[in-house]
Amino acid sequence: MANIKPTRKGIIRVADVTIFQLSRGLYRSTATAFKELVSNAYDADATEVRIDTNFPKFNFISCVDDGKGMSLEAFLNYFSKNGIGSCTKRMGNKDKTDKFKRPIIGRLGIGMLAIGQLSHSFHIESHYTDEKSGERKAYHAKIILLDEMIPDREETIRSGKNKKDVGKWSYELIDYDETKKGFRIYTSDVRKTFADEMKSGAQYKNLDKMSFKLDKLHATFYDTSKKSIRECGPYLETIWELAILCPLPYYGSEEKFPVDVETFDDKEKGTIQFKRAISIVHKRQRGLLKECFRVVFDGIELRRHVQLPMIPEVLPKLYPLEFDEKVMEKRLRFSGYLFAQVAHHIRPAELNGIQIRLRNVGIAGYDSTFLKYYKQVETIRSKWVSGEIFIDEGLESALNIDRDSFNEHDEHFKGLQKYLHGELDSVFEEITKLAKEKSESIRDAHVEILNDSMQRAISTRTNGRLKLRRQPMGQDAPAVSVDLAKGVIILNTDCRLAKKKKANNIIQAIEIAYHAARTTDGSEESRHEFFLELVTEILDTIL
Amino acid sequence: MSHRNPPYDQYDAKHFARYHGWLPASKEFMQATDKETIKYFTLCAKEAIDVFMFEKEGLLARDDEGRLHDVVICENDETVVPEILSLVRPPLLEALIIGNLEDILTIGAALSNDVDDARSLEARKKQKNRDSFKQLEGYFPFDVVNFDTCGSLVSKPPGKNRLIKALERVFELQQLARAFLLLVTTPISGLNRKFENAFREGLSQNVKSYDEIGQALRTSKGSDVYDKIEIESRIALGFAKSVILPAAQKYGWNTLHRGIYVYDSPSGAHRMMSSVVRLSAASEADRGTHVQDIVQIIKRMPEYYSSKNPTQKAEVRKHLDEIIQYREKVRGMYTLSS
């Protein structure tokens, strides 16, 4: 401290070493690290990006795209002149890519180094056309990350030597190769942790059964016996997560994915809200298809695997989400949908919640807290809902550096949160009502079935001498009474023996069984036997 | 780091060896051993023509999931690895072995359990070679070994030639098999003097010891003197006699050359030679069969490819085009847009 000149004001700076550390340990999962490489290809107007991991050894990673490449000037700017994080993609308010007019994802320029999280060193190769001269050029570069520097970080910062080397790079000019047009990043210096992670899990042990056909993979993900994609093991989980995060169309046909229109009844399909929500989803799908962007992972062409509902026997509901307002003087515009299924959990569990998609890229997976919706915290009903919000304008300032989470104190985030929670209020109100109605109708159906079967049993046992009748007799009258003269057992429908309807139905039915058994002829044992028969019937039907 | 291999899709001369040598010999091997498909090791380059040729001709098979079975590919050039991986998609059942085959096979002899500091690039490289050797060792033995490296087997003196050592290691690792087919390719220009001396001496001894060899030389090559024989023929013979044969015998293999093919490198600067050798576990009864093998080489080999021969060129080109077409068809089968 003795060497620092005391001042009363100044500029806040970030040490180079900090930027580098951020770029190397920033990403939550393997898929989010790959997502960064895919995003760079998307921004480069690539039509295809291929990621390979040398399955099943996972000792090599390559990411090859056919985009416009990275010029040597940009490379030198990145690694030498201005440093990592000096992205120029959006310079001059440029917001769309040149060729396909895609919304530019890159903002800071740290995405390329996501591979640093998976490897110790890597190569890049770019075959591109120089924008100024129109000349075709190519270079190869090697980047070595100095791992031994990591434990020294704190010491470095404490010592004030901010400009500590954390890696080395070198490049050489090579011949342009048209077949390699674009940008490629590859490494065989893969971190052991990556290979070990990919190899773990049951799927790896059953490699001979593993299919690389997209339809079969989809069936694996949507196997009704699976609760979660995690059950597929880390390798398939990475594929699924990457697909969900990338700017890609949905898997399958428009009528089936992400929402299976056929599972909705005609009344629901005729509603304005359904039509609006479907139109939002389909418009997005068509837009993404037009972008001609493909991601191929270990030979599998990825698509977003969203299939709602997963099973047909649910009551599905679809709600549109639309917002276009100025928040803190800046426009916030988005659309999307909420899907609810009464009364089953969303499967796979990873689709439960809301996913925010900014510039067509998923910002993290599905947030099952619905941006911290406090009215439904881990309730059963909260597991019935899934949805996506596609941001068209705004919110970018809320995006954290990892592009995987939001600053919750950002005004746009607050605006989005408030709107979503308002919509969720109505959604949960409706699905709660629907669930209640559904549950009551199921209960009534059960009571009906029970009455019929008990009627049959009693009638058979008493040779038609006794019949069962339901009748309102006032709250003070007994729950069940027997009129032998008229040959009826009367169930007083006004009587409530338990607070819960289901419990009440069970108690009433047992009362009937008791009276029916009591009034039948025969020995004590045979009456007991009849009573047990009826109770078994009751429990089988109601429970 | 630029692409050093020639574009094999256009390299007709190379396909001459594949079409006339590798393919019929492999089919013959498969039939002789009564196998439905072969287990194949290759250093196939980014076009993987040999792999698709064998698949098209039914020597290799894909399962219902589209994965090619029993093919192990080794590639040294990391820039080419993504191309191969994309070409053979969906993934092979076996992962690619990435690294220099000489390094991998020779490090295998010095396997150690030492745990090196993973923070050092050199230590990681060493470990990678050890891992690759273990991986490769697990796949042996193969039915067909395609030892088609980028390097020359005859440009460095025998004692310092790591490729020869790697080839010997193949003979050693194949010992679990009863028989296999070896496809070995090398540039023959720039023959090392020590090799040349060994070839000369070896032939002279053979001529002295075996009348049938001298007789065959005089009849087929016009002379039994090494330096009077046409250059490709004497190298083909010397390579078989002084390189392949001793290495094979060291590990108990009996050799039978099915063909030797000579053609130009794409630039025309080098002569290339591809030998197709059937190896079988040697027994007492096999003693002296190497003489018959040498006599056969003298009488029938090598065969030459000339781009100036229109019939030969058209025949080879047609077959190569069919394979490329097949490869692209397979490639298209695994994309959604197809």
The 10s digit of each residue's pLDDT in B286-328 is 666 789 999 999 999 999 998 888 899 999 999 999 999 999 8
pLDDT per position as a tens digit, A241-285:
999 999 999 998 888 889 999 999 999 999 999 999 999 999 999
- Could you give the 3-state DSSP secondary structure of residue B283? coil
Tokens standing for A191?
Answer: 């971190």
| pLDDT for the residue A312 | 82
DSSP B26-55: HHHHHHHTT-SS--EEE--TTT-HHHHHHH
Q: What is the value of ipTM here, to two decimals?
A: 0.87
Please give the class, per CATH, of domain A306-436. alpha beta
Residue B257 and residue B277: Cα distance in Å, rounded? 4
Residues of B in contact with A172 (CB under 8 A): 1
Of A186, A192, A301, nearest to B78 by CB-CB distance is: A186
Q: Can you give the C-alpha Rg of chain B in angstroms? A: 20
**How confident is residue A398, by pLDDT bands cut at 50, 70 and 90?**
very high
Does the beta-carbon distance from A59 to B128 stay under 8 Å? yes
pLDDT per position as a tens digit, B62-81:
888 888 889 999 999 999 99
Residues of B in contact with A208 (CB under 8 A): 93
Of A52, A177, A216, nearest to B3 by CB-CB distance is: A177
| pLDDT for the residue B338 | 38
pTM, to two decimals: 0.84
Q: What is the mean pLDDT of residues A44-68?
A: 94
Does the beta-carbon distance from A212 to B67 stay under 8 Å? yes
Residue A408 and residue A397: Cα distance in Å, rounded? 11
Cβ-Cβ contacts under 8 Å between A and B: the total is 112
Residues of B in contact with A210 (CB under 8 A): 65
- Residue given tokens 């989400």 in the structure block: A321
Does the beta-carbon distance from A212 to B66 stay under 8 Å? yes
**What ranges do the domains of chain A cover?**
16-191, 306-436, 462-542
What's the whole-number average pLDDT of chain A? 86
- Please say whether the beta carbons of A333 and A396 come within 8 A: no
A16-191 carries CATH number 3.30.565.10: yes
| pLDDT for the residue A512 | 87
Residues of B in contact with A122 (CB under 8 A): none
- Cα A218 to its chain centre, rounded Å, is 15
pLDDT per position as a tens digit, A479-500:
888 888 888 888 888 888 888 8
Residues of A in contact with B1 (CB under 8 A): 123, 125, 140, 172, 174
| pLDDT for the residue B293 | 93
* Residue A469 phi, psi (nearest 5): -135, 140
| pLDDT for the residue A419 | 97
| pLDDT for the residue A78 | 77
Residue in chain A lying closest to B136 (CA) = A57
Does the beta-carbon distance from B85 to A184 stay under 8 Å? no
| pLDDT for the residue A87 | 62
Q: Angle at the Cα of A121 (from A187 to A159), degrees rounded to 5?
A: 165
- Could you give the 3-state DSSP secondary structure of residue A178? helix
| pLDDT for the residue A3 | 60
| pLDDT for the residue B335 | 65
